[in-house]
Amino acid sequence: MKTSQREIKRSHSILDHSPEEVVTLLKKHELRISILGLGRIGLPTAAVFAEAGARVTGIDIDEEVVRQTNAGISRLTDEPGLDLVVKKNVAEGRLSATLRPETMLHDSDFIVMCVPTPVDLAKSPDYGAIRAVSHSVGKSLTKGSIVIVESTVGPGVVEDIVGSIIESESGMKAGRDFGLASCPERSDPGSIMKNMHSVPRIVGSTDVHCGDLVAALYREGLGVEVVRVSSPKAANAVKLTENLFRDVNIALANEFALLYEKFGIDTVEVINACATKYNFMPHYPGAGVGGPCLPSNSYYLINEGIKLGNIPYLIRLAREVNDRMPDHMVELTAEALNEIGRTVSGARIAVLGIAYKPDVKDIQLSPIERIITRLREMHAVIEVYDPMFAGEEAMGLIVHKTMEDAVRGANCVIVGTAHAEFKKINLASLSRMTARKAAIVDGRGVFVPADAKKAGFAFRGVGRVALSAFRPDTRPTASTSRQA
């Protein structure tokens, strides 16, 4: 059905409209969207919908986030392109932010939840923010609005927690009086603006018409393909399955690494050779898995599985293997220092990279924190450099402004993150900055072991061996260190 812009009779209820009308309203700047949570996911989502023509209000509990957004500033300086889109849409009046949900939620066609869903210290999912915003939404909801959950949650949380809270607060029924859908965010930090316009979105809803409208919004607003699944819980299962697939495969690579180090076999060499077979999907070992997603997403399923009497053993074990990798890095550091006649105690160790993934300013659940803590407990002197945090305080340390400052006189250099800057390191120059006898412990496959040895370093790397001068013809791929 084709609808010209003039034909639409605007209803208060977006559910009364067709998908084509949603597109037209978006283009006419008449679609109203509220985004709850203006963080790594919420701010780009708000900016992109505003850029597509919607009138977007971001709602956050952090005064500084609201102030900066209203000033047209993106604090996510590691998301290329976001700053310009935020600035432009604030200036043109399509994007604003507020601390007060009640002022906007009643006047929204679509309400999108992008609040955090971490795990607590006991590794149980913490749905506190999801519950809080569900209460706010339920109190202010207008009949006919559509609620979309982008936050990563366990299967059933949208129906049983979000839907139930909104129903009891509003007295309305999901699927009849308001729409309820999941459209989990699948972007990669550092590339969010690019991914938002290219990675297909998964949409599951409580009823088909609501799903049609949500699909139209994302197709038109982001310009991406939309894949429909039968329910919100199926959409959430898609998100968890893709992340857990990665976590489990990285754990398998880490297990090979631990084993092959004992055999004196280079795991990266093996994996790169395996990758020449048509059905092998390479994953690489490393210093551990960090970030807001992979280390916690498993627990959403593990927790639900235990409640339902079906423990996902493999997923749980994969977490254990990946969580053990920082300790393995400490073991490798002790070994490498022993090789040059030193102990960890008193050694000057330069840690290059604390972020959980390359070229992103984020240390959430970064495995490097455990490495640093353990080495400090063993009385090492730790110097840190990370280009994303240069000159700032992080993990209880002042991050050096330059790599040279951190590595000068070091007995050991640990690579914690495969930032682009570290991939360009010239080993001969590095050896002139460190102590005369020094070691490298590479947690991210940045160096070729034989090259490090040739430059005079004692070398250890997760799953790496440097027994001979053999130099593989296949260099590790960029994804070697993308353990998040």
Residues identified as active-site: 239, 293
Phi and psi (nearest 5°) for 55? Answer: -95, 110
CA angle 35, 36, 42 (to 5 degrees): 65
Nearer CB in complex with ligand NAD: 114/146: 114
Q: What is the 8-class DSSP label of residue 162?
A: I
368: nearest Cα among 199, 262, 484 = 484
Q: Nearest distance from residue 307's CB to ligand NAD, in Å?
A: 20
Q: Nearest distance from residue 225's CB to ligand NAD, in Å?
A: 18
Q: Nearest distance from residue 149's CB to ligand NAD, in Å?
A: 9
How would you classify residue 465: left for phi > 0, otherwise alpha for psi between -120 and 50, otherwise beta? beta
> What DSSP string describes 62-128?
-HHHHHHHHTT--S-TTSTTHHHHHHHHHHTTSEEEES-GGGTGGG-SEEEE-----B-TTS-B--H
Which parts of this chain interact with ligand NAD (CB under 6 A)? 36-42, 59-62, 65, 114-117, 129, 132-133, 151-152, 185, 187, 189, 292-293
Q: Nearest distance from residue 190's CB to ligand NAD, in Å?
A: 9
Q: Nearest distance from residue 26's CB to ligand NAD, in Å?
A: 23
And the tokens for 412?
Answer: 């050991």
The residues, any chain, with a CB within 8 Å of residue 212's CB and separated by 6 or more, are 18, 19
Nearer CB in complex with ligand NAD: 65/215: 65
147: nearest Cα among 177, 187, 186 = 177
Nearer CB in complex with ligand NAD: 38/450: 38
For helices 368-377 and 313-339, what crossing angle results, to 10°?
Answer: 50
Question: Which DSSP helix (H) or strand (E) runs through 195?
Answer: helix 192-196
Residue 279: CB atoms within 10 Å: 4
How would you classify residue 365: left for phi > 0, otherwise alpha for psi between -120 and 50, otherwise beta? left
Q: Nearest distance from residue 328's CB to ligand NAD, in Å?
A: 25
Nearer CB in complex with ligand NAD: 235/450: 235
For helices 232-263 and 313-339, what crossing angle results, to 10°?
Answer: 30
Nearer CB in complex with ligand NAD: 40/283: 40
Nearer CB in complex with ligand NAD: 244/413: 244
Nearer CB in complex with ligand NAD: 52/240: 240
- Cβ distance 222 to 41 under 8 Å? no
Distance CA 370, CA 395 (A): 10
- Closest CB to ligand NAD belongs to which residue? 39
Residue 25: CB atoms within 10 Å: 22
Residue 275: CB atoms within 10 Å: 13
Q: Nearest distance from residue 45's CB to ligand NAD, in Å?
A: 9
Q: Nearest distance from residue 65's CB to ligand NAD, in Å?
A: 5
Nearer CB in complex with ligand NAD: 129/441: 129
Q: What is the 8-class DSSP label of residue 34?
A: E
- Cβ distance 274 to 282 under 8 Å? yes
And the tokens for 207?
Answer: 């009823």
